[in-house]
Amino acid sequence: MKALLLPVFLLAATPACAATWSVQPSASTLGFSGTQTGSPFTGTFKQWTAEIAYDPAHPEAAHVHIVVNTGSAHTGDTQRDEAMPGADWFSAAAFPQAVFDATGFTPAGSNHFTTTGTLTIRGISHKLTLPFTLDVAGSQATAEGEIALNRGDYGVGQGNWASGDWVGLPVEVKFVLAAKTTP
């Protein structure tokens, strides 16, 4: 029920000299929140990967490629969790992955950045600008951010679910991405 990703993720690079960063899954999360019949709910994507190239000296050349398994959405509510991979929501059988691709990070003061990329869910792509913070200490980096999406823009919620009457159209996607350079 949530538009992904996002997610969503970041670090800058020059192709020839950029370091490759490896995501640390145990310290990283990709979550979402929304409302159903007016009550808030939260969830996470349990399966996703990120390829990151980043050189702090050249943030404009960064590249991020995030792939989210749409069938891995989990909220802890059995009915919701069984519905999300179905044809009315993520349609995971037909569209098993959501993808976010972005190139270049734009400094926005202190440890704040933005990156513009393309988010594709259910075969529908839209450009978006993702704000995030990035803290780098030696070979360790942590990026955090959130973005508001409209699930209807990506066809998430078909038929009776398209209007937003039962499940709200606004979705917040939040992430913490911990990574370290790979030798």
pTM for this model (two decimals): 0.88
In a domain, 9, yes or no: no
Would you say residue 12 lies in a domain? no
Confidence band of 11 (pLDDT split at 50, 70, 90): very low
Cα distances (Å, whole numbers) of residue 168 to 33, 73, 126, 172, 177: 10, 17, 20, 11, 27
pLDDT digits (tens, 9 = 90+) for 42-100: 999 999 999 999 999 999 999 999 999 999 999 999 999 999 999 999 999 999 999 99
List, as one string, the DSSP characters of 12-46: ---TTTPEEEEE-GGG-EEEEEEEETTEEEEEEES
Please answer whether residues 67 and 99 qualify as being in contact, where contact means their C-beta atoms are separated by less than 8 angstroms: yes
Give 167's pLDDT tier (boundaries 50, 70, 90): very high
- Which residues constitute the domain of residue 86? 19-181
Neighbours of 72 (CB within 10 A): 17
Total domains, the chain? 1
**pLDDT top residue among 6 and 78:** 78
* Nearest alpha-carbon partner for 177 in 14, 43, 21, 34: 21
Domain contains 172:
yes
Is 1 a residue whose pLDDT tops 50? Answer: no
Average pLDDT for the chain? 90
We report the CATH number of the domain holding residue 175 as 2.40.128.110
pLDDT bin (cut points 50, 70, 90) of residue 17 is low
**pLDDT greater than 80 at residue 14:** no
Residue 13 falls inside a structural domain: no
| Domain annotation covers residue 3 | no
Residue 129 domain flag: yes
31 Cβ contact partners less than 8 Å away, ≥ 6 residues apart:
42, 43, 44, 45, 173, 174, 175
Query: Does the residue 14 lie in any domain?
Result: no
- Tens-place pLDDT, residues 100-123: 999 999 999 999 999 999 999 999
> What is the mean pLDDT of the segment spanning 145-171?
96
Query: Does 5 reside within a domain?
Result: no
The pLDDT assigned to 183 comes to 63
**Residue 9 confidence (pLDDT):** 35
